[in-house]
Amino acid sequence: MREKFADQVKTAMKAGDKPRLSTLRLIQAAIKDRDIANRGAGKEAATDDEIVQLLAKMVKQREESAKAFEDGGRPELAAKERQEIVTIREFLPRQMEPAEAEAAIRAVIAETGAASIRDMGKVMAALREKHAGEMDFGKASGVVKGLLG
């Protein structure tokens, strides 16, 4: 994934696409920060799975910021956040449809043998491991609660 980002930065530079270039550099900086944090903890550089989780977190942050900007009457800043979301999502795996997500959740519940709401943590951990970046875990937790509760 790192090479993909580097290639996209070069392409954006050549095309003079400043907003895209800015977002790509933000992504690279976030990855470098994660690498430094991992090094401090005695781990290797961020894996592709960690990068996907990082990108998903960046999208969520920008969605929250865009909403806050709209609520504050700053539509131009909200539009900038949404443009960054579009660029970041290009590098994320395809998001599951609600029916697909529910099927995946049911499969993980069956795999883990979860029977009650007490097993929710175990189910969510397994979902994060198997489907990082593919589903919205905020929505998934509601579905898990409904199925286990």
Domain end: 42, 62, 89, which one? 89
Residues 130, 80 share a domain? no
Residues 61, 36 share a domain? yes
Residues 104, 42 share a domain? no
Sign of CA dihedral 125, 130, 133, 138: negative
Average pLDDT along the chain:
91
Domain with residue 118: its CATH number is: 1.10.10.410
pLDDT class of 133 with cuts at 50, 70, 90: confident
Residues 78, 120 share a domain? no
DSSP per position, 34-47: HHHHHHHTT--SPP
Task: List helix spans (H) across 41-96.
Answer: 48-71, 75-89
Residues 79, 26 share a domain? yes
Residue 96's pLDDT is 87
Q: How far apart are CA 143 and CA 141, in angstroms?
A: 5
Residues 83, 12 share a domain? yes
At 43-73, the pLDDT tens digits run 888 888 889 889 989 998 999 999 999 999 9
Residues 71, 9 share a domain? yes
Residues 104, 32 share a domain? no
Residues 82, 107 share a domain? no
At 68-77, the pLDDT tens digits run 999 999 999 9
Q: How many domains does the chain have?
A: 2
Residues 78, 116 share a domain? no
Domain end: 60, 89, 118, which one? 89
Residues 66, 21 share a domain? yes
Residue 104, pLDDT > 80, answer yes
Contact 98, 106 (CB under 8 A): no
**Domain extent at residue 59:** 2-89
Residue 132, pLDDT > 80, answer no
User: How large is the average pLDDT for residues 97-123?
Assistant: 90
Residues of the chain above pLDDT 90, percent: 57
Q: How far apart are CA 149 and CA 147, in angstroms?
A: 6
Residue 4's pLDDT is 93
